[in-house]
Amino acid sequence: MKRLPRTARSVDLLLDISRPTSICRSCRLRAAQQSALSTSAIRREGPVPFTERIRKRIYGTENPPGQEDPYARNSPLRQTPETREELRVLESEDDLTVQKATPESSELANMYEPANSWDSLEWVGGEDYLEALKDDEKPYVGFMHGTKVQDNDEIRAALRRAVVEVYTLHYAGREDLTDVCNARHNDDDFKSLLDRNYEWLALSIKEPRIKFAIVKRVMQLTGIRLSDYAIQTSPTVEALLQRLTTKPKPKKLVEALHADSRFANLQNVKLFERRVTPIDKEKQVGRWKVIEEALVNRDLPVTGHQ
Amino acid sequence: MPLQALRTVARSQNGVGAFILQCKRLDFHYCDWAGSSKGMNSFLQSHLPAFAASNPQIEITVSPRPRKHPVIKGTYINGREKAVCVRNMEVKEILAKAELLRDANGEKLRKAKKPVKSANESVRGIWDPFHGANWSI
């Protein structure tokens, strides 16, 4: 148990016998006895550490020899020969690098004044900051088309262009077919390349070199990324086109169920587009109009879950 | 007039002669958004057409129930209803629950305490004071 500080003890007032007081001598003596009978040691909060007091007691002198704190981090008792050597090297380096403060540097330190508002401070981040960082001479041009191409005809035209370019290089005997990507994307309307001939869709792209070059070029032209799975499971150009122009999944399950042809022939299945409410159930059995009429006759509100 | 026992008429028993499925309707409820309906949604897309085709005598309805766990409700010809929550279940588990509801008879679940259960009356008949041994008191 932590004891009260020595100065805060009320008994001390009694112990000071020399002080003139109105308390009788017998009471003061009893207080002195109680103070002497206390069992717990008084914790001393002083500058002398515990280990130092022990050392003094062991050596029996006020100035014991050796390290002041043998358990400190830099105590020689805790150092191995290797660490001792490292410490020695570090100390010698410190001697080299430490610079003494000159009068000028202290003047500079005195001139420092902390800011009270952020008005005059440098601002990092934000749109203006980004504008200032931009290098106008060399604007960044990405590899892929900036925005994804949405139009299916445009995607088909881009695919056709990629196929024609890659096969042209292939038949020309070029080694690196991905050179087609070096021709930067231009805004030419390559829809005009399309014609009614669909034979090119049946072309096989099983050869990995050709497939990789075509996919890379199409991704560059359209900005549409294809997953590895989609690329691997596309043996022909037509399959690749289907992957590129896949319609997004329906957001609602009921739309997908309505689109499923297997449900069309089932007479016992009914698909609802929204929650079937209690009113819907009444309507299904033809009871709602009766309920409605009865409510109106009684001047009651015709409400419920719509 | 001599006393005559009542003639027993053959009782109808489901499955003897004809079998009528006790489940008349199954309602499938799902939620478009909630993750607990994930299995239910794929069940409705993948397994429900085959299930409905193999059970043409059951009326099946599919309706959303937003912000609620997926549920299958069965309605039976005895007027009772049974509902099973199929939250976080997988497709196979949901199919098992749909089959369980289809095969159920709609009765409350009771513990079978006797080893044999029969719908027939006892062959010894009902006790009658005018038959059997005459006890003299």
User: What's the complex ipTM?
Assistant: 0.81
Nearest CA in chain B to A250: B32
pLDDT in tens, B78-128: 999 999 999 999 999 999 999 999 999 999 999 989 998 887 778 888 888
Residue A216 tokens, joined: 């890379």
| Location of structure tokens 């008349």 | B24
Residue A119, domain member (yes or no)? no
H helices, E strands: number in chain A? 13, 1
Q: Which of A199, A162, A200 is nearest to A183 (CA)?
A: A162
Query: Hey, is A42 helix, strand or coil?
Result: coil
Go through the domains of chain B in sequence order and give each one's CATH number. 30-103 (3.40.30.10)
Backbone angles phi, psi at A112, to 5 degrees: -60, 130
Contacts of A256 in chain B (CB under 8 A): 45
Q: Least CB-CB distance to B60: which of A251, A268, A274?
A: A268
Domain assignment present for residue A112? The answer is: no
| Mean pLDDT of the A258-287 span | 94
Closest residue in A to B67 (Cα–Cα): A275
Do A160 and A201 share a domain, yes or no? yes
Judging contacts by C-beta atoms under 8 Å, the chain B residues touching residue A273 are: 64
- Say whether both A219 and A254 belong to one domain: no
Residue A268 and residue A297 in one domain:
yes
A263 vs B50: CA distance, rounded Å = 9
Contact A254 B61 (CB under 8 A): no
Q: Does residue A139 lie within any of the structural domains?
A: no
CA distance A124 to A121: 9
Amino acid at position B116, single letter: V
pLDDT higher than threshold 90 for residue A253? yes
**More confident position, A78 or B5:** B5
Domain span holding position A230: 152-244
Q: Grade residue A241 by pLDDT with cuts at 50, 70 and 90.
A: very high
Overall number of domains in chain A: 3
CA angle in degrees (0–180, nearest 5) for A238-A198-A152: 60
Residue A8: band (very low, low, confident or very high) from pLDDT cuts 50, 70, 90: very low
Same domain, A256 and A233: no
B58 chain-A contacts, CB cut-off 8 A: 268
pLDDT at residue A280 is higher than 50: yes
Q: What is the mean pLDDT of chain B?
A: 91
The verdict on A158 and A238 lying in the same domain is: yes
Measured between CA atoms, the residue of chain A closest to residue B37 is A253
| A269 shares a domain with A299 | yes
Whether A240 and A266 map to the same domain: the answer is: no
Across the interface, of A262, A268, A276, the residue whose CB is closest to B63 is A276
**pLDDT at residue A218, as a whole number:** 93
Is A269's Cβ below 8 Å from some Cβ in B? yes
Q: Which of A125-134, A195-204, A295-304 has the highest mean pLDDT?
A: A295-304
Instruction: Provide the pLDDT for residue A112.
Output: 84
**How far is residue A165's CA from residue A171's CA, in Å, rounded to a whole number?**
10
Closest CA to A220 of A190, A168, A182: A182
Banded model confidence at residue A19, pLDDT cuts 50, 70, 90: low
Contact A253 B32 (CB under 8 A): yes
For the cut 60, the answer to whether the pLDDT of residue A144 exceeds it is yes
Mean pLDDT over A132-149 rounds to 82
Average pLDDT over residues A16-44: 58
Beta bridge partners of residue A4, listed in sequence order: none
Residue A99 maps to a domain: no
The verdict on residue A129 lying in a domain is: no
The three-state secondary structure class of A270 is strand
Query: Is A258 found in the same domain as A185?
Result: no
- For chain A positions 229-258, those within 8 Å of chain B (CB to CB) are 251-254, 256-257
Single residue among A69, A92, A110 that ends a domain in this structure: A69
In a domain, A122, yes or no: no
The last residue of a domain, from among A38, A69, A100: A69
> Angle between the A237-244 and A208-222 helix axes, to the nearest 10 degrees?
30
In a domain, A123, yes or no: no
Residue with tokens 């004809």: B18
Residues in B lying within 8 Å of A, measured between beta carbons: 30, 32, 41, 44-45, 48-49, 52-53, 55-66
Q: What is the pLDDT of residue B122?
A: 81
Q: Which residue has the higher pLDDT, A40 or A144?
A: A144
Torsion over CA of A237, A238, A240 and A243, rounded to 10 degrees?
Answer: 170
The rounded distance, in Å, linking the Cα atoms of B29 and B61 is 8
Domain shared by A266 and A227, yes or no:
no
Which ranges constitute the DSSP H helices of A3-113?
11-15, 25-37, 50-59, 81-97, 103-111
Does residue A236 sit in the same domain as residue A256? Answer: no
Tell me, yes or no, whether A16 and A2 share the same domain: yes
Among A198, A227, A244, the domain-final residue is A244
**Which three-class secondary structure string do you get for chain B?**
CCCCCCCCCCCCCCCCCCCCCCEEEEEEEECCCCHHHHHHHHHHHHCHHHHHHHCCCCEEEEEECCCCCCEEEEEECCCCEEEEECCCCCHHHHHHHHHHHHHCCCCCCCCCCCCCCCCCCCCCCCCCCCCCCCCCC
Interface check for A118 against chain B (CB to CB < 8 A): the answer is no
Between A163-177, A237-251, A261-275, the lowest mean confidence (pLDDT) is in A237-251
pLDDT tens by residue, A38-63: 444 455 556 787 888 888 888 888 88
The residue of chain B with its CA nearest to that of A256 is B45
